[in-house]
Amino acid sequence: EMWNLFVKGGWVMYPLLALSIIALAIIIERIIAFKKIKTDTADFSSEVNELLSKNMMDEAVNRCEREESPAGRVIMAGLKNFRKSREEVESSIESAGEIEIAKMEKGLMYLLTIAKISPLLGFFGTVIGMIKAFEAIGRFGVENPRLVALGISEALITTAAGLVIAIPVFFAHFFFMNRIDKFLISLQESSLSFLETLGELEERIAMRTAKIDEIGGDYLEV
């Protein structure tokens, strides 16, 4: 029955089938990829900040290397540049975050494109079918309404097929983007917390250095 409907839909059904296969492949690939991504950054962020507060920089770097997650790579970018200016640290974190988000969004633009094209392609197939149906009316007249109704029903198959593809694909795109948005918020919170802890560490180091210089100056005066 399904194959008969597919054949009745005409040649437009073939590109629709191709789009559905591509969309399904992207959805499966993204589901597998998202399962591998650790999106809960709260515990990791707390551990790194605790190490930073104790000035255990090497241990913080090792913790980021063990994390093997987008959050770990983003914070790692900041740690690699912690001796540079605050602006450079923030820039490195922002750049690393953009790269990680781009990785998570891989293929999602194709999903959105398929969700938009499928109904249009289905409607195009329906228009072609309607033209054929009215050509049949012009040839044979309206004495046989069953023939006209059959032609119109076959013409609407492609529109239905386009919507059947577009609706779940659009929902999948929304689902993935919602996951990315939640992760982005979590990543921003972790980055801000990291920058605050790093700033506090720099202040303590600066105060300690100033105190040592002051003591050294007193000694020199003596």
- C-alpha separations of 217 from 207, 210, 214, 220 in Å: 15, 10, 5, 5
Tokens of 173: 């795109």
Q: Per this entry, what is the length of the chain? A: 222
Q: How far is CA 121 from the centre of its chain?
A: 26
CA distance 128 to 160: 14
pLDDT at 58: 81
Q: State the pLDDT confidence band at 221, using cuts at 50, 70 and 90.
A: very low
Residue where the block lists tokens 């998570």: 104
Residue pointed to by tokens 């953009």? 98
Q: Is 66 exposed, middle or buried (0-12, 13-18, 19+ CB in 10 A)?
A: exposed
For the chain, the farthest-separated pair of C-alpha atoms sits apart, in whole angstroms, at 120
Question: How much is the mean pLDDT over the chain?
Answer: 82
Q: How far apart are CA 102 and CA 125, in angstroms?
A: 35
Q: Please tell me the pTM assigned to this model.
A: 0.77
Structure tokens at 44: 């990791």
Report pLDDT digits (tens) over 109-167. Answer: 999 999 999 999 999 988 888 887 777 777 766 666 666 666 677 778 889 999 999 99
Cβ atoms of 157 and 8 within 8 Å: the answer is yes
Of 23-27, 196-200, 215-219, the one with minimum mean pLDDT is 215-219
Q: Grade residue 219 by pLDDT with cuts at 50, 70 and 90.
A: very low
> What per-residue confidence (pLDDT) applies to 220?
45
**How far apart (Å, rounded) are the C-alpha atoms in residues 185 and 204?**
29
